[in-house]
Amino acid sequence: MEQKIITRFAPSPTGFIHVGNLRTALYAYLWAKKNKGTFILRIEDTDKAREVEGSIDHIMKSLKWLGVNWDEGPDIGGPNAPYLQSQRLESYKKYAQILIEKGLAYPDPYTEEEIDGFREKAELEKKAFLFREHRPITFGVWDGTRPLRFKVGDIKSYHWHDEVYGDLSAGPEALDDFILIKSDGYPTYNFAHVIDDLEMGVTHVMRGQEFISSVPKYLSLYDGLGIKPPLFATLPPIMGKDGNKKLGKRDGAKDVLEYEREGYLPGAMMNFLALLGWNPGDDKEIFTKDELINIFDISRIGHSGAQWNDDKLDWINKEYIKKLENEELENKIFEWLPEELKIKKLVPVIAERISKFGDIKKMITEGELDFFYKQPEYSKEKLIFKNTTPEKTSLNLKEAITALQKIDEKDFSFENVKITLMQIADGLPSRGELLHPVRYALSGLDKSPDPFVIAMILGKNETLSRLQKAI
Ligand code: GLU
Ligand 1 atom at minimal distance to the Cα of residue 211: 6
What is the rounded CA–CA span in Å between residue 101 and residue 316? 56
Could you give the angle at which helices 346-353 and 326-335 cross, rounded to 10 degrees?
Answer: 80
pLDDT value at position 299? 96
Cis peptide bond upstream of 237, omega within 30:
no
CB of 289 closer than 6 angstroms to any ligand 1 atom: no
Spatial separation of the C-alpha atoms in residues 225 and 234, rounded to whole Å: 23
Amino acid at 72: E
User: CB under 8 Å, gap of 24 or more: what pairs does 389-396 form?
Assistant: 392/433, 393/433, 393/437, 394/471, 396/424, 396/428, 396/433, 396/434, 396/437
Residue 40 bridge partners (DSSP): 8, 72
Let me know: does 80 contact 119? Beta carbons within 8 Å: no
Q: Which fold has domain 256-371?
A: Glutamyl-tRNA Synthetase; domain 2 (1.10.1160)
- Model pLDDT, residue 293: 98
Give the rounded distance of the alpha carbon of 323 from its chain centre: 20
Asked if residue 231 has pLDDT above 90, the reply is: yes
Lowest pLDDT segment from 245-249, 262-266, 368-372 = 245-249
What's the gap in Å between 43 CA and the centre of ligand 1?
9
CB-based contacts of 220, cutoff 8 Å, min separation 6: 150, 152, 153, 154, 158, 175
Under the banding of pLDDT at 50, 70 and 90, the label for residue 249 is low
> Which protein residue's CA is at the shortest distance from atom 3 of ligand 1?
11
Q: What are 60-80's pLDDT values in tens digits? A: 999 999 999 999 999 999 999
- Whether 268 lines ligand 1, by a CB cut-off of 6 Å, is no
Render pLDDT for 450-460 as a digit per residue (tens, 0 to 9): 999 999 999 99
Q: What confidence tens digit (pLDDT) does each residue in 116-145 have? A: 999 999 999 999 999 999 999 999 999 999
Q: What is the CA(26)–ligand 1 centre distance, in A?
A: 14
With a 6 Å cutoff on the Cβ, whether 12 touches ligand 1 is yes
* E strand or H helix at 403: helix 390-405
- Reported in sequence order, the residue ranges of 197-323 that DSSP labels E, i.e. its strands, are 204-207, 231-234, 238-239, 306-307
Angle between helices 390-405 and 460-470 (to 10 degrees): 160
The CB of 252 under 6 Å from ligand 1? The reply is no
What tens digit of pLDDT does each residue of 22-69 get? Answer: 999 999 999 999 999 999 999 999 998 999 999 999 999 999 999 999
Asked whether 426 and 469 are in contact (CB, 8 A), the reply is no
pLDDT digits (tens, 9 = 90+) for 408-458: 999 999 999 999 999 999 999 999 999 999 999 999 998 888 999 999 999
Query: Using a 6 Å cutoff on CB, does residue 11 contact ligand 1?
Result: yes
Residue 384, pLDDT score? 94
Whole-number pLDDT of residue 240: 84
Q: What is the distance in A from the centroid of ligand 1 to the CA of 39? A: 15
Position 250 confidence tier, pLDDT thresholds 50, 70, 90: low
**Residue 204, ligand 1, Cβ within 6 A:** no
Output the 3-class SS for 237-266: CEECCCCCCECCHHHCCCEHHHHHHCCCCH
**Mean pLDDT over all residues of the chain?**
95
Which of 6, 186, 200, 207 best tests ligand 1's pocket when mutated (most atoms within 8 Å of CB)? 207
Tell me the CA–centroid distance for residue 120 and ligand 1, in Å: 29
> Which of the listed residues 42, 52, 189, 206 should we mutate to test ligand 1's pocket, taking the one with most ligand atoms within 8 A of CB?
189
Of 386, 343, 366, residue with least CA distance to 444: 366
Centre of ligand 1 from the C-alpha of residue 194, in Å: 11
Architecture of domain 88-235: 3-Layer(aba) Sandwich (3.40)
- Cα 206 to middle of ligand 1, angstroms: 9
Structure confidence at residue 449 (pLDDT): 86
Range from 51-65, 72-86, 224-238, 340-354 carrying the lowest mean pLDDT: 340-354
Atom of ligand 1 nearest to the CA of 189: 1
User: What beta strand segments (E) does 235-346 contain?
Assistant: 238-239, 306-307
Of ligand 1's atoms, which has the minimum distance to the CA of residue 207? 8
The class of domain 377-470 in CATH terms is: mainly alpha
Atom number in ligand 1 closest to CA 8: 8
When mean pLDDT is compared across 8-12, 155-159, 340-344, 399-403, the lowest value belongs to: 340-344
pLDDT, one tens digit per residue, over 290-345 is: 999 999 999 999 988 889 999 999 999 999 999 999 999 999 999 999 998 898 98
What global pTM score does this model have? 0.90
Report whether residue 45 contacts ligand 1, using a CB cutoff of 6 Å. Answer: no
35: which residues sit within 8 A by CB, 6+ positions away?
A: 4, 5
Indicate if ligand 1 lies below 6 Å from the C-beta of 18: no
Domain boundaries along the sequence of the chain: 88-235, 256-371, 377-470
- Is pLDDT of 177 > 70? yes
> So what's the pLDDT on residue 1?
61
Atom of ligand 1 nearest to the CA of 11: 4
Question: Atom 10 (ligand 1): residue with closest C-alpha?
Answer: 11
* Span 246-259, average pLDDT: 79
Q: Is the pLDDT of residue 251 over 70?
A: no
The Å distance, Cα 236 to ligand 1 centre, comes to 15
Which residue among 8, 202, 211 is best mutated to probe the pocket of ligand 1, counting the most ligand atoms within 8 A of its Cβ?
211
| Mean local confidence (pLDDT), 382-399 | 95
> Whose CA is closest to 162, among 298, 26, 24?
298
What span, in angstroms and rounded, lies between the C-alpha atoms of 413 and 406?
13
The predicted pLDDT at position 383 comes to: 94
Q: For the residues 138-165, what does the mean pLDDT come to?
A: 95
In whole angstroms, give the CA distance from residue 312 to residue 306.
13
pLDDT at position 254 over 90: no
What pLDDT is recorded for position 280?
95
Separation of alpha carbons 41 and 371, rounded Å: 50
For ligand 1, pick from 41, 43, 44, 231 the residue to mutate: most ligand atoms within 8 Å of CB. 44
Question: Which comes out higher in pLDDT, residue 225 or 371?
Answer: 225
